[in-house]
Structure 1
Amino acid sequence: MERTIIALSREYCTGGIGIARQVAETLGVPFYDKELITLAAKESGLSEEAVAASEKRRTGSLLYGLYTMGADLPLSDQVYIIQSKVIQSLAEKGPCVIVGRCADYVLRDDERLLSVFLHAPADYRRKWGLAQKQLPADLDDRALEALIEKEDKRRAGYYNYYTEYRWGAAEHYDLCLNAELGPELCAGLILQATGRK
């Protein structure tokens, strides 16, 4: 069976967006990353800034809020629910590549899903982040590693809060790749794993 919907999660500074975009271009399918912010904003009537900001924080317990059915769910929880609906809608439309936003969890029951996690050693991530100007060049190695670790903790916190899985735990992904293999090889391995000829 072909895996036509690819959900890619990644550690910070692994080049995941570029790899995901390359896979989407090769397959000739839509690519969604920041576009999900725009789509969620349109769906909710919120500003794109509010949606983007809400992705950066999480609140108390989503399950408690849903259980009490309070109309006053925190904004971050409302945005997660809206984005989940947008992700499901995009998957229903057909093949695509989606980066982050718990897409692997949201679509976990879809037989077409290929879930991918991209990781890399700290030294590689630091060098990649500096080369891509994703990290500030005026920080020493220790400060850069702290910055990378902080972003990973934020991503893990978001994922672990909204899903019953653990971010980065290999058993929850179809494919885990070390970005140090290089963008071309990582993209090639993902393409191979889709089952497309």
Structure 2
Amino acid sequence: MKELFVINIGRQLGSGGKDIGEIIARRLGIRLYDKELLTLAAQQSGLCPEFFEKADEKESRSVLSTMIAYLRSPFAGDMGNVTNVLSNDALFKIQSDVIRDLATRESCIFVGRCADYILRDHPRRVDVFISADDEARIHRLRSRTGCTEEEARSMMERGDARRADYYNYYSSKTWGAAATYHLSINSTVFGDEGTADFILEFASRKLNMKF
């Protein structure tokens, strides 16, 4: 039985990070987790998925108040209406537990959500950051959303700033900085398939595995 491993992908908005991750996942026959983590965290905690979606990759310097309505206990009787106030930090902790649990049970790919930091003690991990030239990012965003070039640039700025704030806040490291990851790569150079090839070759050597 092969040892378990994880590939963690950080990415600029519009760089194709998730697309490239999906290519790698298909080739390796493993699962990729992105938004699915929010659903799993909600299921594990018993909270509504909306709580996690609102806090998704957003830092928490202030408290996010959320209402959990009608939590019923067999001993609560008519007092079963409970209000809990959770911070983004608490939601991050729940999501982190889900990521750690998955990493102990299967080889997989995580996209974003500080997975590289959460799994920093995992002995068999590959941490990758995917960037791309602005023109390529704009083209990808416009192709997917039908937005204008100006709107795409605005989306990029907001998206990258949000991801950087989230990552830097929870990890105390620097989002996108080469020293933060095992490999930083510009997807514009090789395209999605070629970038997947490069990451797989790198991962194969780092993990001492033949893919």
Same fold (TM > 0.5): yes
Alignment identity in percent?
38
CA distances 1:26-63 after superposition (whole Å, capped 9, x unpaired): 1111211111011100111111111111115332279x
1:109 matched to 2:121? yes
Identify the residue that residue 65 of structure 1 maps to in structure 2: none
Whether the 8 Å CA contact 1:7–1:103 is kept in 2: the answer is: yes
Q: Which runs of 5+ in 1 are unaligned?
A: 63-71
Q: Aligned with 2:172: secondary structure?
A: coil
Task: Check conservation: 1:3, 1:194, Cα contact below 8 A.
Answer: no
Detail structure 1 runs of 4+ shifted over 4 Å in the superposition: none
The residue that corresponds to 1:175 in the other structure is 183
Q: Please tell me the residue identity of whatever aligns with 2:168.
A: N
- Contact 1:59/1:74 (8 A) holds in 2: no
Take 1:164 and 1:57, find their aligned partners in 2: how far apart are those partners? 15
Q: Which residue of 2 aligns with 1:77?
A: 89
The answer for the alignment partner of 2:130 in structure 1 is: 118
Unaligned regions of 5+ residues in structure 2, if any? 64-83
- Please identify the structure whose Cα radius of gyration is greater: 2
Deviations 1:100-127 (A, max 9, x none): 1000100111120000000011111001
**Contact (CA 8 Å) 2:142, 2:152: kept in 1 or not?**
no
Distance 1:186 1:174 in 2: 15
CA distance in 2, matches of 1:14, 1:153: 15
1:38-90 residue CA offsets vs partner (Å, 9 max, x unmatched): 1100111111111111115332279xxxxxxxxx7743111110111111101
Q: How does 1:177-196 map to 2 (within 5 A)?
A: 177-180=185-188, 181-195=190-204, 196=209
Distance 2:111 2:154 in 1: 23
State TM-score, norm by structure 1: 0.86
Distance, in Å, in 2 between the alignment partners of 1:189 and 1:103 is 21
Task: Output the CA distance in 2 between the equivalents of 1:190 and 1:177.
Answer: 9
Q: In structure 2, what is the equivalent of residue 23 of structure 1?
A: 24
Aligned equivalents of 2:199 and 2:184: distance in 1? 10
TM-score after normalising by structure 2 = 0.81
Counterparts of 1:83-94 in structure 2, within 5 Å, are: 83-94=95-106
1:147 is matched with 155
Aligned residues: 184
Task: Please give the residue correspondences for 1:159-174 in structure 2 after superposition, counting only pairs within 5 Å.
Answer: 159-174=167-182
